[in-house]
Each structure stands twice: as C-alpha cells, then as structure tokens.
Amino acid sequence: MTITRLELDQILPLTCSRSGICCHGKQVYLNPYEIHCFAVAKKLTPSAFLDQYGEQGGIKLKFNGSTSWRGMAACSQYVEGFGCSVHAGRPLACRLYPLGRQIEHEKAYYIFEGTQFPCLDGCPEVEQLPKLTVADYLQGQKTEPFIYAQDTYLEVVQALADIAFMLLLETGLAESTEHKTVALWRAMSHETPDDLAQRIGEEWLEKLLLPNIENASENAADFIQQHSILLQEAIQKQCDTLQNLDQIQELCVLVLAMALYLARSLGADTKQLADHWINTAIQNGAKA
C-alpha cells in the first residue's frame, strides 16, 4: 500500500461533509484513556461501555450498526441522520481520519493511505468545502491529549516489557532449561487480541483497561500517570508472592501478554515488537 506523507502546512480538502460514510466498515482500536473518554461522553461506566460496545477483550470498537453504505456496517456509535453519538469522546483514530499518524525514528508523520486523498472516493463534495492545513485540522479536532495518550501508553508498553525482562533475566528463569519462556513469548506474538485477552484473564484485563481511579480526570497526563502507578503496584504485589520459577514464569508471560495487548490497542505492530523483545532476550542469555 502506497503511503502519502504530509507536511503540517499542506492544504487539503479536510472539511468534513458530515455524510458519515467514514463511520462505516472501519477498525477502531481503543486505548484505556480513550475507553475512559468514551464512557464519560456516553455517561456509562467504562466497564458498561466495554460490555456493550467493545470486542476483542475490549480494545476494539464494535461496528455492528446498519449496513447503510456500500454494504458496510456502521460503527456502534453512529446514528443514522445524526452522526457520531459520542462526538466529544471520540478516539484519536476518528479525530485524525482521513489522516493517519506514523512514527519513524521517534518522529511523527501525518499520512494518508494511497495516492488519492481518501475522502474523494466517498465524499467528492469535500472539494467544494473550505480547505484546511493539516495543522489546523489537527487543532480543530482537539487531537493533542489523544496524541499524548497514544505516545505515553507506548511508554507504558515498554515499561511492562521491561518488567517481563527483569523477571526473565534477573531471577534465574533465563538459565532454566525447563522453563521455555522465550518460546512462550514467541507463541504469543502470533496470538490474536482475543487469544491474548483470554490469556491475560479478566482480573488483569480490568487492571489494564479499566483502572480503578477515583474521580478519574479527563486530563490525559493525570489519567495515565495514575493508571501506570496502579499497574506497577499490582505487579509489585504479585512479585512479592513469587516463590518458585513456575510462578515467576507465569507472571513474566502474563506481563508480556499485557504489553502486547496494550500495544495492539495502540495500533502498534505487535509482531515487530515481539521479535525485537525476543531478540533482545536471547542476546542477554535467554534460551530460545
């Protein structure tokens, strides 16, 4: 697939025609901050929101509405003739669309897929509407806290992987011939989000997606900082109970599964991430 990279001052037909076609047939993944914002906008608890509208363990928004455009199902939040029912809480993917965001060598680029501007296919009328720069579009869509959340949760992913590394490399687990932890990491890299969610189990999935933060703020920095502390405390508590290599391996695999699952919610390439982690573990003495 050809990717067109954009400059922030590039002018494009980015004013929405509000036809709603981009709310059909898409795959929208949600990180924990986005689940929180959705739930606030929907006036539901995050858990009730996921029960009704989440799939693949909760990180994917259901698209089970009417098939009113080109036979593709509408998003569960789309209301015919009205549009998005949770506009204020919509996630980054929806705020960016038709743009995407790609990070390369720690620099973010705004892109669209293909060589023709995507809206022109379903909404050629956008050509008649006022044009915007990419920067103005991003600002108008209030993307800043959501971009912050996306980038900061990627750091949480790496922090989880670091804990898994510590459990593997600093406990004697890596030297054990009986405990083929890296092989389990490799197997997980091929698992679907549903498989990973099942492996993680309800209790830890809740800690990962639905942090129990009292009066949770809509400020992304506060929310993620508190979530991160709660996650670390829960893992530390579990570490304090470990008594043998079996239990260490169980926790090591669980924490890496959580890292992979959270990465999936951010749209990261989990196969590439897992390969990188596996190679690093092997270089540091873990058995393949």
Distance CA(116)–CA(264), nearest Å, equals: 28
With CA atoms as reference, report the closest residue to 263 among 168, 164, 137, 174: 164
Looking up tokens 């989440």 gives 54
Distance CA(241)–CA(253), nearest Å, equals: 16
Amino acid at 161: A
Rank residues 78 and 185 by Cβ distance to ligand SF4 and give the closer one.
78
> CB of residue 28 vs ligand SF4: minimum separation in angstroms?
6
Choose, by CB under 6 A, the member of 14, 28, 174, 220 that binds ligand SF4. 28
Distance CA(149)–CA(164), nearest Å, equals: 22
Q: Is 119 in the site for ligand SF4 (CB under 6 A)?
A: no
> CB of residue 277 vs ligand SF4: minimum separation in angstroms?
32
- Select the span of 82-90, 121-129, 149-157, 163-171 touching ligand SF4 (CB under 6 A): 82-90
**Long-range contacts formed by 97-103: CB under 8 A, 24+ apart:** 97/22, 97/26, 98/14, 98/22, 99/6, 99/134, 99/137, 99/138, 101/147, 101/150, 102/3, 102/5
Q: Is 75 in the site for ligand SF4 (CB under 6 A)?
A: yes
Q: Residue 207 corresponds to which tokens in the numbers above?
A: 């800690």
Q: Is 39 in the site for ligand SF4 (CB under 6 A)?
A: no
DSSP 12: E
> CB of residue 50 vs ligand SF4: minimum separation in angstroms?
14
Choose, by CB under 6 A, the member of 39, 94, 216, 260 that binds ligand SF4. 94
Rank residues 58 and 165 by Cβ distance to ligand SF4 and give the closer one.
58
Q: Is 77 in the site for ligand SF4 (CB under 6 A)?
A: yes
Rank residues 181 and 265 by Cβ distance to ligand SF4 and give the closer one.
265
169 close to 179: Cβ distance less than 8 angstroms: no
Q: Is 169 helix (H, G, I), strand (E, B) or coil?
A: helix
Q: Is 50 in the site for ligand SF4 (CB under 6 A)?
A: no
Rank residues 26 and 186 by Cβ distance to ligand SF4 and give the closer one.
26
Distance CA(216)–CA(224), nearest Å, equals: 10
Choose, by CB under 6 A, the member of 23, 161, 210, 220 that binds ligand SF4. 23
224 close to 36: Cβ distance less than 8 angstroms: no
> CB of residue 161 vs ligand SF4: minimum separation in angstroms?
30
Q: Is 78 in the site for ligand SF4 (CB under 6 A)?
A: yes
- By CB under 6 A, the count of residues binding ligand SF4 is 10
User: At 279, phi and psi to the nearest 5?
Assistant: -60, -40
> CB of residue 153 vs ligand SF4: minimum separation in angstroms?
19
Interacting residues toward ligand SF4 by CB under 6 A: 23, 26, 28, 75, 77-78, 84, 86, 90, 94
